Structure 1
Amino acid sequence: MRRCLVCDEVMKEALTWGTLLKRGEAKAICKGCEAKLDKITGERCSLCSRGLAGHYSSGGTCFDCSRWERDKEWSGYLSKNISLFHYNEHLKEIIAKYKYRGDYALAAIFVPYLREVLQDMEHDLVTCIPLSAERLRERGFNQAQALADVIGIRTVEVLTRIDTEKQSKKSRHERITLPQVFQVINEELLRDRSILVIDDIYTTGTTLRQAAKALKNAGSKAVSSITLSR
């Protein structure tokens, strides 16, 4: 008997040969909780996955990404970010339980969605946004690394984090004007390779662009990313 990882309700399913064969791929949440996840669909920004609607669109990219790309300090570093869901209240609560309250098991919710997207993302190696030593001690695990672990994808540690102050406590202006917070390690692994970076939330794009900048300056060919939410 399986229970939904979000609401704890018993998950009922019709027993057929199909369900038996796919038992190992069974979803970890009930249909009701899954329905509350707001998948990003339709026309989206070609760089960050933000849904494009009217005033958000500017030649295929949202206004935020257009500003990033006009800035010589940041232009051309992050090739593409794919986000799975809009950051609505339902997902916000799930991520809070997962990320800040240490409910590691919730990573299983995102397995089928991540696997589907990863099939179409070209890369030579995968890495995760690292936590500072202080944050890792505080949370007990790296939420981005846990996502890679549950889908069985091998990652390589190529970045360390310099800062310790929580990004979630910073304003948008403070985030986008931060000095570099990442340092490259294992630089020899990066040369002329396409890197895929895994993280949980795309907020302003600063964290991923800083990681991409560090990786490309160290010799990587291209940097793309995948995140749960945007």
Structure 2
Amino acid sequence: MHCLWCDQKILPKVTWLTFLTPQKIEVLCEECKGKFSFITGSVCIRCNRPMDDKGKTCYDCERWIAQNPFLESNISVFEYNSFMQEVISKWKYRGDYVLAELFREEVQQRFEEAFSDLDGLIVVPIPLSEERLQERGFNQAEAIASFVNAPSENAIKRIHTEKQSKKSRKERMTSANPFQIEKPQRSTIVLIDDIYTTGRTLHHAAEVLKSSGAPEVYSFTLVRG
């Protein structure tokens, strides 16, 4: 087996258990694993942003609470360091779909830790516009959602808008809601997306879902930008 990122050969660790139990297939070498930065320590209790004060809410979330209190909280797996930026770029913008396997195990574990006590939840991947889906060939949020042990529903639709990556922080925070409801839900929802930056996309999605009957809406993202 070779590392999915650097193509270095992965040599399995052989012990007496190797011959008695099924072995996990490693998709990353140890060097590449070490380049990912997990979110640990003190974080904002609502959006998972790393911060110095434990048990506090960040400035952005204070604004959301006042203006758009539809999203309960967000959980993310990784910090957005330079290595993750490179991985996301190759996976998301250059169409290397198989790279999603780099995150499978960590996504499954973190999602279970965060949401195992929510009964009957449904995951809703953040949709792409038809134009963006044709450009990329896949929806990265759906790829992440496929890893978790929960039913998935395409409950909202995106109206085509300018790429978030082209907008300034101020423009993202003040942009109009790009979503409309497709299938109203009466269950607790966990939105799935790749990156939480300002939170605007997820708060907009939560707004249309709660307005159509969802009792609670949370979010789960691969990365906290």
> Structure 1-normalised TM-score?
0.89
Aligned twin of 1:168? 165
Q: Indicate how the Cα distance of structure 1 residues 27 and 78 shifts in structure 2: closer, same or farther if over 3 A, else same.
A: farther
- Aligned 8 A contact 1:27 1:112 in 2: no
Q: Say what the alpha-carbon RMSD is for the aligned residues.
A: 1.7
More displaced 10-residue stretch of structure 1: 96-105 or 11-20: 11-20
Give the superposition deviation at 1:19: 4.9
1:7 is matched with which residue? 6
**Structural mapping, 1:1-230, within 5 Å:** 2-16=1-15, 18-19=17-18, 21-23=21-23, 25-53=24-52, 60-71=56-67, 74-75=68-69, 77-120=70-113, 121=115, 122=118, 124-151=121-148, 153-187=150-184, 190-191=185-186, 193-230=187-224
Give secondary structure in 1 for the equivalent of 2:153: coil
Given that 1:127 and 1:198 are in contact with CA atoms closer than 8 Å, whether structure 2 keeps it comes out as yes
Q: What code does the residue aligned with 1:111 have?
A: R
Q: Say whether the 8 Å CA contact 1:125–1:196 is kept in structure 2.
A: yes
Q: Deviations over 1:145-165 (max 9, x none)?
A: 012224565411101001331
Which letter maps to 2:168?
A: S
- Please state how far the C-alpha of 1:13 moved relative to its aligned partner: 1.9
- CA drift at 1:27: 3.5
- Deviation of 1:78 (Å): 0.8
Q: What code does the residue aligned with 1:163 have?
A: H
Identity of aligned residues (%): 44
Unaligned stretches of 5+ residues in structure 2: none
**Offset, 1:101:** 0.4
Q: CA deviation at 1:143?
A: 0.6
1:160 is paired with a residue whose SS is: strand
Secondary structure in 2 matching 1:225: strand
Between the aligned partners of 2:194 and 2:9, the Cα distance in structure 1 is 27
For 1:172-206, what per-residue CA distance to the aligned partner results, in whole angstroms no more than 9, with x for missing partners?
A: 1111111110011111xx12x10011100001100
Number of equivalences = 219
What TM-score, normalized to structure 2?
0.91
Instruction: Give the letter aligned to residue 69 of structure 1.
Output: I
CA distance in 2, matches of 1:100, 1:202: 17
Structure 1, unmatched stretches of 5+, are none
